[in-house]
Amino acid sequence: MSKSFAQIPQAVNEEVKSYAPGSPERAQLLDAYKKMFNEVTEVPQYIGSEEIFSGNKKEIRPPHDHQKVVGYFHEGTQEDVKKAIDTALAAKEAWVAMPWEDRAAIFLKAADLIAGPYRAKLNAATMIGQSKNAMQAEIDSACELIDFLRFNVQYMTEIYADQPISSPGIWNRVDYRPLEGFTFAITPFNFTAIAGNLPSCMALMGNVVVWKPSDKQTLAAKVTMEVFKKAGLPDGVINMILTSGAETAKTVLEHPDFAGLHFTGSTKVFNTLWKQIGDNIDKYRTYPRIVGETGGKDFVMVHKSACPTEVAVGLVRGAFEYQGQKCSAASRAYIPSNLWNEVEKQMKEMLATVTLGSPEDFSNFMTAVIDKNSFEKSKAYIDRANASSEAEVVIGGTYDDSVGYFVQPTVIKATNPKYESMVEEIFGPVLSVYVYDENEFEATLKLVDETSAYALTGSIFAKDRAAVEFASKALKNACGNFYINDKPTGAVVGQQPFGGARASGTNDKAGSAMNLLRWTSVQTIKETFVPAKDYKYPFLEK
Ligand code: NAD
């Protein structure tokens, strides 16, 4: 046990590498990509010290080349889920007893492993399994995950240092205990960083974890577990299971020691989980923490004073990077009538230069959407817009799934601001725009606020400062992350804590101390140095 107050290294954001032609990182990444693409990777479950190859193999196919099998993940059973829970609970005592400095060292080491020897491998796995181009993989699986790991350590120490005041003769303290029982992380396909962060931030705070990654992210999830193990994470602290979400939730959420859910994914699934927790509430030893970051229908609101080029660039990047599969992706835009022709023209010109294809070809700005369901969903919105009297497809609108699930970046112009594609999360490269009367700024802000159930991210583009100020007020509750003259994507850990409210989640801000606090249960300790020896207070005197 240490006899000092340790100072941790100051967290700084990991530098994003350029991958420019001739750079060493480009060569390393291409090597790692080719190697993994031409091998067959077997992804086991990790329970305690065991790597479980169940034999129930499910194919892993790159979304951009769906005839190619790059590996298999070994699906588990509900017996494995029970085993993961028991293993986590068995690991708890030693993990809770471990000094925080050692927990910190494990995750700081994991960050350095990803920054160094595992960077290319984790990026390659994300490119192949989730179809991200090199830059999208770099900002996610390398930089954001590294940032989460480093900044969380810093936030943990800031939380621990936050102590109450004391008064004469009394010493007050608070102890940030881990939750009693085990915690459960369920993660989405679209960010390797989120998948790594959800279980690891709970573990950092002293919790033991059962982690169920998305079955569409298993390639990168495997590399993440390799990193945690290599960094010295004790067996059983994070147990990765590869099982059906619905069945697993049933098993886990019925357990009396279930202490917290850390979820990122769709609103529909989160609502189901919350209801299940409610139904099981009498079974638990403690009220579970419920943290969920869910869907979005993220807006870009444009004032008549905005620069059309800045708007067009914001929309092209905000709506179409990673094929619109970011929870923060711009998916509805409100353009004033004086700017629409110019914004449309410039977007057309920009998008004419965008190519789609394999992430192995670094010239591709876009790759494929994640799977057949996602492809069919975008296709259906495009087909319905083509057939609708309230909308027209003005850019893109083609799709082809013969090799990979490719959907061209598509812009739907709706004449009804409540047309379905202005309201619903599509989670593909489909942006909807509504052109409003340039003099109806205020009324349109109300529309932005009221159109969707979600409230994740949003932007205002304007040169007129009064318009910025007015929109900031009018949209106060319309998003959890608000951008002024910028696209609504690309939140950076430590700089823009991320999360939304309404149907977008509990807004516990991943990558901030606010989130870590949810994984602690504070015990307050009051110590009196010289206790009273007489029960009577002075006012009782006659
Ligand atoms: P999803 O909801 O389909 O799946 C998320 C996870 O839940 C996966 O691991 C999946 O296997 C599991 N799951 C599915 N059904 C389940 C059930 N009945 N019970 C328990 N678990 C179940 O989401 P996805 O397609 O992986 O990710 C896209 C969604 O995630 C989008 O809605 C997006 O907006 C959202 N998202 C939100 C944020 C945020 O920070 N707000 C970040 C990333 C993604």
| Ligand 1 atom at minimal distance to the Cα of residue 187 | 9
**Rounded to a whole number, what is the largest CA-CA distance in the chain?**
95
Are 180 and 122 contained in the same domain?
Answer: yes
Are 428 and 512 contained in the same domain?
Answer: no
Does residue 374's CB lie within 6 angstroms of at least one atom of ligand 1? no
Angstrom distance (rounded) from CA 466 to CA 302: 13
Contact yes or no for 206/103 (Cβ under 8 A): yes
pLDDT in the model for residue 1: 67
CB atoms < 10 A from the CB of 109, how many?
17
Contact yes or no for 208/236 (Cβ under 8 A): yes
Choosing from 14, 144, 293, 321, which is the catalytic residue?
Answer: 293
Is position 394 within any domain?
A: yes
Are 196 and 303 contained in the same domain?
Answer: no
Number of domains in the chain: 2
Are 54 and 186 contained in the same domain?
Answer: yes
Concerning whether 327 is annotated as a catalytic residue, the answer is yes
CB atoms < 10 A from the CB of 151, how many?
24
Contact yes or no for 480/504 (Cβ under 8 A): yes
Are 70 and 179 contained in the same domain?
Answer: yes
Are 315 and 439 contained in the same domain?
Answer: yes
- Domain containing residue 432: CATH number: 3.40.309.10
Q: What tens-digit pLDDT sequence spans the chain (542 residues)?
A: 678 999 999 999 999 999 999 999 999 999 999 999 999 999 999 999 999 999 999 999 999 999 999 999 999 999 999 999 999 999 999 999 999 999 999 999 999 999 999 999 999 999 999 999 999 999 999 999 999 999 999 999 999 999 999 999 999 999 999 999 999 999 999 999 999 999 999 999 999 999 999 999 999 999 999 999 999 999 999 999 999 999 999 999 999 999 999 999 999 999 999 999 999 999 999 999 999 999 999 999 999 999 999 999 999 999 999 999 999 999 999 999 999 999 999 999 999 999 999 999 999 999 999 999 999 999 999 999 999 999 999 999 999 999 999 999 999 999 999 999 999 999 999 999 999 999 999 999 999 999 999 999 999 999 999 999 999 999 999 999 999 999 999 999 999 999 999 999 999 999 899 999 999 999 999 999 999 999 999 999 99
- CA distances 238 to 2, 363, 512, 521, Å, are 25, 38, 21, 19
**Which residue in the block uniquely carries the two structure tokens 């992380």?**
185
| 365: amino acid identity, one letter | F
Are 102 and 246 contained in the same domain?
Answer: yes
- CA distances 167 to 305, 527, 528, Å, are 57, 11, 10
Residue 357: half-sphere exposure toward Cβ, Cα within 13 Å:
7
Contact yes or no for 191/144 (Cβ under 8 A): yes
Is position 210 within any domain?
A: yes
Is position 10 within any domain?
A: no
Angstrom distance (rounded) from CA 183 to CA 313: 41
Give me ligand 1 centre to Cα 187, in Å.
Answer: 6
| 139: amino acid identity, one letter | I
Partnered with residue 72 across adjacent β-strands are 42, 59
Does residue 221's CB lie within 6 angstroms of at least one atom of ligand 1? no
- CA distances 192 to 138, 265, 385, Å, are 10, 13, 33
Are 248 and 322 contained in the same domain?
Answer: no
Angstrom distance (rounded) from CA 44 to CA 74: 5
| Ligand 1 atom at minimal distance to the Cα of residue 500 | 41
The residue nearest atom 18 of ligand 1, judged by CA position, is: 246
| 10: amino acid identity, one letter | Q
Range of the domain at 227: 24-294+505-525
Is position 509 within any domain?
A: yes
pLDDT in the model for residue 2: 78
Is position 496 within any domain?
A: no
Are 520 and 432 contained in the same domain?
Answer: no
Contact yes or no for 305/463 (Cβ under 8 A): yes
Provide the 8-state DSSP code for 510: B
Cα-flanking dihedrals φ and ψ of residue 94, to 5°? -70, -35
Give me ligand 1 centre to Cα 111, in Å.
Answer: 25
Is position 407 within any domain?
A: yes
Concerning whether 143 is annotated as a catalytic residue, the answer is no
Q: How is the chain split among helix, strand and coil, in percent rounded to 5?
A: 40, 20, 40
Does residue 14's CB lie within 6 angstroms of at least one atom of ligand 1? no
| Order of strands across the sheet that contains 71-74 | 41-43, 71-74, 57-60
Are 285 and 378 contained in the same domain?
Answer: no
The residue nearest atom 42 of ligand 1, judged by CA position, is: 327
pLDDT in the model for residue 110: 99
Are 289 and 149 contained in the same domain?
Answer: yes
Does residue 249's CB lie within 6 angstroms of at least one atom of ligand 1? yes
Is position 491 within any domain?
A: no
Are 108 and 233 contained in the same domain?
Answer: yes
Residues 6+ apart with CB under 8 A from 205: 156, 176, 178, 516, 519, 520
- Domain containing residue 279: CATH number: 3.40.605.10
Is position 532 within any domain?
A: no
